[in-house]
Amino acid sequence: MKKIVILISGGGSNMQAILKTSKQRDWAARFNAKIACVISNTQEAKGLAIAKDLGVETRVVSHLNFKADENPRLAFEKELIKVIDQHEPALVVLAGFMRILTAHFVDHYAGRLINIHPSLLPAFTGLHTHARAIEMGCHFAGATVHRVTAELDHGPILAQAVVPILVGDTPQTLAARVLTQEHVIYPNAIERLLTDER
């Protein structure tokens, strides 16, 4: 069985879309794959309750527990790796995981780590993507699923979706329109990866 681990920090809407798609399309039968665990770096992440309600194991590895370490980020990532590796994942899926990962973590999951970013990469890496797209006068925005590399938001592109930027759009209205497309392209990109591995 190919196992997928999803990392979240908040509400987990992309995680929920992936979980629902995996059940609706029966990934277990079609791809011999399942969502093994949802892990958050914060106990308050609302997505944890959603995952539990959908019958998925959840764990919390809080980055705050490592503040006293000489290298807090590395100590956190080592513990996170330990928890993830208990599932021997075929894929590690970042779904609103709000921690910048070091090369140590990225290298450990090389070829198995994917992310979704709310812009048409390579444009607008980092934060505040929707505000920046509006300010620049772009006519289109979108979302990108990509493999994760040590360079932030620069990995090979797996899927993209485009939405128009409308007159009067705010970062919030644009974000909502982009999010509907994220919920489509992320599960589909994972399916393609599972298909390629068969």
Residue environment code for 90-101, b if the CB has 16+ CB neighbours within 10 A, otherwise e: bbbbbbbbebeb
Q: Which of 63, 108, 117, 146 is catalytic?
A: 117
Q: Where are the beta strands (DSSP E) in the chain?
A: 2-8, 33-40, 57-60, 91-94, 113-117, 140-147, 157-164
Domains of the chain: total = 1
Q: How far apart are the first and last CA of the chain?
A: 11
Q: CATH number, domain at 144?
A: 3.40.50.170
Render each residue's pLDDT in the chain as its tens digit; 198 residues.
Answer: 999 999 999 999 999 999 999 999 999 999 999 999 999 999 999 999 999 999 999 999 999 999 888 999 999 999 999 999 999 999 999 999 999 899 999 999 999 999 999 999 999 999 999 999 999 999 999 999 999 999 989 999 999 999 999 999 999 999 999 999 999 999 999 999 999 764
Quote the domain boundaries for residue 109.
2-197
| Active-site residue flag, 117 | yes
Half-sphere exposure at residue 192, Cβ-oriented, CA atoms within 13 angstroms: 11
Say what the pLDDT of residue 149 is.
Answer: 95
